[in-house]
Amino acid sequence: MLNIYHLLIVFLNLAAAIFCADEYSREDFPPGFIFGSGTSAYQVEGAANVDGRSPSIWDTFAHAGKMGGETGDVSVDQYHKYKEDVKLMVETGLDAYRFSISWPRLIPNGRGPVNPKAIQYYNNLIDELISHGIQPHVTMYHFDHPQALEDEYGGWLSRRIIKDFTAYADVCFREFGDRVLYWTTMNEPNVLPILSYDVGLLPPNRCSPPFGVNCSQGNSSSEPYLAAHHLLLAHASAARLYKNKYQRKQFGSIGINVFGFGFFPLTNSTEDVLATQRANDFFAGLIVNPLVFGDYPDTVKKNAGLRLPSFTDHESKVIRGSFDFIGVNHYVTALVKDNPASLNLEHRDYQADMAIELITVDLANSSFEYPISPRGMQAVLEYFKQVHGNPPIYIHENGQRTRRASSLGDTSRVKYMQAYIGSVLDAIRNGSNTRGYFTWSFLDVFELLGGYETCFGLYYVDMNDPELKRSPKLSAHWYAQFLKGRRIVSSDPVIQLPQNVSAFSISHLFQ
């Protein structure tokens, strides 16, 4: 664990680097740096009842009315429109496309027989991308395991899912690994335990009062840690399989993805600085510490106590070093205040164990759009550089939230991208081992925390058009010009965090 002196050095170094490049082009990035965009299976494919796909936990959740009656049954139908979408990617100038494979489409029962129609679809998509010079970056799990496994043994609450996930990964490597060179096992395994098992905002909608609402079952005190533990073990098992069986002949790389908050101490007090490190321990550290050091952060072990499972010596050895890169999703910045009183609660959940209070822009009362604070991106990348040995990093998601009804002239998204891409360049110049940047999302899709009202896409999709017509937004034109060599000059100052700040819970950031 870093002591207070080292923590202060981290923040002083970061403070010296907190600015956003005022002028840059893609030529300023290192050779081989990847620019892309992404989506995920349930959010973009549609075809929920087509060609042998079985229900995922997301189908069950959405059809139970948890998303206000909206579902991903059709979404934007990339299952049938992938060629059209790849053409748009070419026009935009993408180097790469990040997408996920649907486990319930590939192996409908969760284990056992493989669906040949799914093999055909993903082969077609991968081949279409490669034939147009676009790299496929594939995530194997993006919150959507088969409902059959949830019904049988409780999904991520059971160790049985480790074997089933590894077998699913084996099919992915075997069928697609000759062309897929970038594999990500899990999307945001540090967020899933909170939103799915603590506050119950996502399927399988488990929580317990007073920590979550509208859940019929769950335990917010213990289940988030149990799910995170099994997610880590499943990742390590799949990564070990890839490295032992496939990597030497397929020449690819494998990693995991985490959500990265841009955390800063509210004040320069020792308490708030240490609270900021604790916030990082509970978020990124919960997943990345075992990957780098073989065990959970000491602070997490101390505050969670017996509710946090422990690794055996063998498991620790398997997990440690089980990655070639770390994927990072980043959107927002938060200020951290020490809150030791939460540790005095008789019953605590994951959030109370952190003993912090998050302070930042009151998103509920301000603009729907995210504040533009590129210093948060640099804070995340500096954290990985200083604390976790500067591993190879791919920014897998970064983007601006708008409402679907907003115009195609999404100037706020352009300003956001301009600021954050510039901040990535500055982080690289400051020594970060960042190797790629992907916008979220390529299209307006079914958002997991906003349905069809919330949009992040470069391309608008007309949901009232039977053909689901795609139209480029201003951000798509801007990104295309940047990717094709235009030099970006910032004539406007970077928007900073407003002064109206207030406290909120972690889950508030995702709403």
170: which residues sit within 8 A by CB, 6+ positions away? 241, 245
C-alpha closest to that of 56 among 152, 153, 147, 165:
147
Are the C-beta atoms of residues 257 and 328 closer than 8 Å to each other?
Answer: yes
Interatomic CA distance for residues 129 and 231, integer angstroms: 29
Catalytic one among 188, 223, 315, 447?
A: 188
SS3 at position 400: coil
228: which residues sit within 8 A by CB, 6+ positions away? 189, 190, 192, 193, 286, 287
397 is annotated as an active-site residue: yes
Are the C-beta atoms of residues 480 and 92 closer than 8 Å to each other?
Answer: yes
315 is annotated as an active-site residue: no
Are the C-beta atoms of residues 477 and 95 closer than 8 Å to each other?
Answer: no
C-alpha closest to that of 230 among 199, 189, 188:
189
C-alpha closest to that of 402 among 372, 360, 438, 379:
372
Residue labelled with tokens 């999302």: 441
Task: State residue 503 phi and psi, 5-degree precision.
Answer: -85, 155
Catalytic one among 45, 223, 315, 397?
A: 397
Are the C-beta atoms of residues 486 and 478 closer than 8 Å to each other?
Answer: no
Task: State residue 142 phi and psi, 5-degree precision.
Answer: -125, 65
- 135: Cα within 13 Å, side-chain hemisphere: 16
Interatomic CA distance for residues 236 and 249, integer angstroms: 20
Interatomic CA distance for residues 204 and 200, integer angstroms: 7
16: which residues sit within 8 A by CB, 6+ positions away? none
Q: What secondary structure does DSSP assign to 202-248, as a single string?
A: STT--B-TTT-SS-SS--TTTHHHHHHHHHHHHHHHHHHHIIIIIHH
Residues with catalytic annotation?
188, 397
